[in-house]
Each structure stands twice: as structure tokens, then as C-alpha cells.
């Protein structure tokens, strides 16, 4: 019986030690989304919102919602869930890599017809962050949203999407 109490005490201590290093945070960013279809490239300004949970100094989980941009009748959006591997450096800087899964959505409103195509894809990214103080940080990031193939009957289009974002985070 004493073994169970000792095991429970060790488990509670471990959870408290991990919880002491955790932090919820929210963020917002402005970005440039690059759409590439064969030889045609288009850049659009987008924005996003992030909710994250830093498990420890090297790992965080994030949910993001993004407005990738609008071009005439076409608009693009994405939602994603990611895990971040973080490498803390000196002077409040850190580097991170993102690996996640997202749902990309392209919507076309041509007046006479509306089309919406959604694709789920793996995503990856690389970024750098600077902690201004305990709560505020700024970051710059590149995210590759992958090649998205959209098909309607015999017609198909493949669009490669990537983003360059600058943002700010606030930790609680």
C-alpha cells in the first residue's frame, strides 16, 4: 500500500514540476502568402491568430486560423494544429521548427457560381522568436502549406502555398 502512496506522490510532484514551466499564449501576425500554379505566381497579404500551450522550454502545441489572402473572386483560408520544437539561444532569442496538419480552403465566387474546395495537408515551418519580456515576444516564420491539388471532373489545378509571417505573442 505504501508503494502506491509513494508512486502517487512522485506523480503529483512530476506534474507540478512540468506545470510550473507551462504557459498558455495567444498571438497575431501579418503575412505574405505566395501562391504558385505552374509558372504563375501571386502574392497576397494575409493575417492569422494563434493559441498555443508551451509544455516546456523545448516543446509547444499550437492551433492557428489564417486568412491567406484574397485575389479578385478567389479567397484562401487555413486552420492548423502543430507541434513546435524550440531551441532556446542566448539573449532571449530562440529558433523553432513547426510540424503540423492543416485544412486549406479555397473559395471562388464568380457571381454565377460558387466553388469551395478543401484539402487537408501536412505542413512544416521554420521560425525565430525574440522574448521582449516575460509575457511579450515577437517572431518571424516561414511555413510551407504544401501542394494542393484541386479537381473538378476532368479539370485539375495544383497550387503550392507558402507563407512568410511576422507576429507578436502574449503569454499568460
Confidence tier at 150 by pLDDT (50, 70, 90): low
Per-residue pLDDT at 155: 73
More reliable by pLDDT, 140 or 152: 140
For residue 82, pLDDT beyond 90: yes
- The answer to whether residue 13 sits within a structural domain is no
Per-residue confidence (pLDDT) for residue 119, from 0 to 100: 85
* Rounded mean pLDDT, 69-86: 89
Look at residue 6 and tell me if it is in a domain: no
Domain CATH for 128: 2.40.160.20
pLDDT tens sequence across 12-69: 444 444 444 569 999 999 999 998 888 888 899 999 999 999 999 999 999 999 999 8
* Residue 148 structural domain: 22-171
58 part of a folded domain = yes
User: Which H helix or E strand runs over 164?
Assistant: strand 155-171
Best CA proximity match to 149, nearest among 111, 127, 118? 118
CB 129 within 8 A of CB 93: yes
Q: Is the pLDDT of residue 71 over 80?
A: no
pTM of the model: 0.80
pLDDT at 121 exceeding the cut of 60: yes
Q: How many domains does the chain have?
A: 1
Amino acid at each position: 500500500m505504501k508503494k502506491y502512496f509513494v508512486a502517487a506522490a512522485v506523480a503529483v510532484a512530476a506534474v507540478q514540476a512540468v506545470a510550473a514551466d507551462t504557459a498558455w499564449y495567444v498571438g497575431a501576425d501579418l503575412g505574405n502568402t505566395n501562391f504558385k500554379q505552374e509558372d504563375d505566381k501571386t502574392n497576397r497579404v494575409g493575417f492569422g491568430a494563434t493559441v498555443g500551450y508551451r509544455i516546456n522550454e523545448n516543446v509547444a502545441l499550437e492551433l492557428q486560423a489564417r486568412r491567406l489572402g484574397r485575389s479578385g473572386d478567389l479567397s484562401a483560408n487555413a486552420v492548423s494544429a502543430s507541434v513546435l520544437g524550440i531551441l532556446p539561444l542566448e539573449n532571449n532569442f530562440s529558433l523553432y521548427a513547426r510540424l503540423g496538419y492543416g485544412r486549406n480552403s479555397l473559395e471562388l465566387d464568380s457571381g454565377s457560381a460558387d466553388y469551395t474546395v478543401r484539402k487537408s495537408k501536412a505542413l512544416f515551418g521554420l521560425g525565430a522568436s525574440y522574448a521582449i519580456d516575460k509575457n511579450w515576444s515577437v517572431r518571424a516564420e516561414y511555413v510551407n502549406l504544401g501542394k494542393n491539388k484541386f479537381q473538378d471532373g476532368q479539370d485539375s489545378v495544383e497550387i503550392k502555398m507558402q507563407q512568410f509571417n511576422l507576429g507578436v505573442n502574449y503569454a499568460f
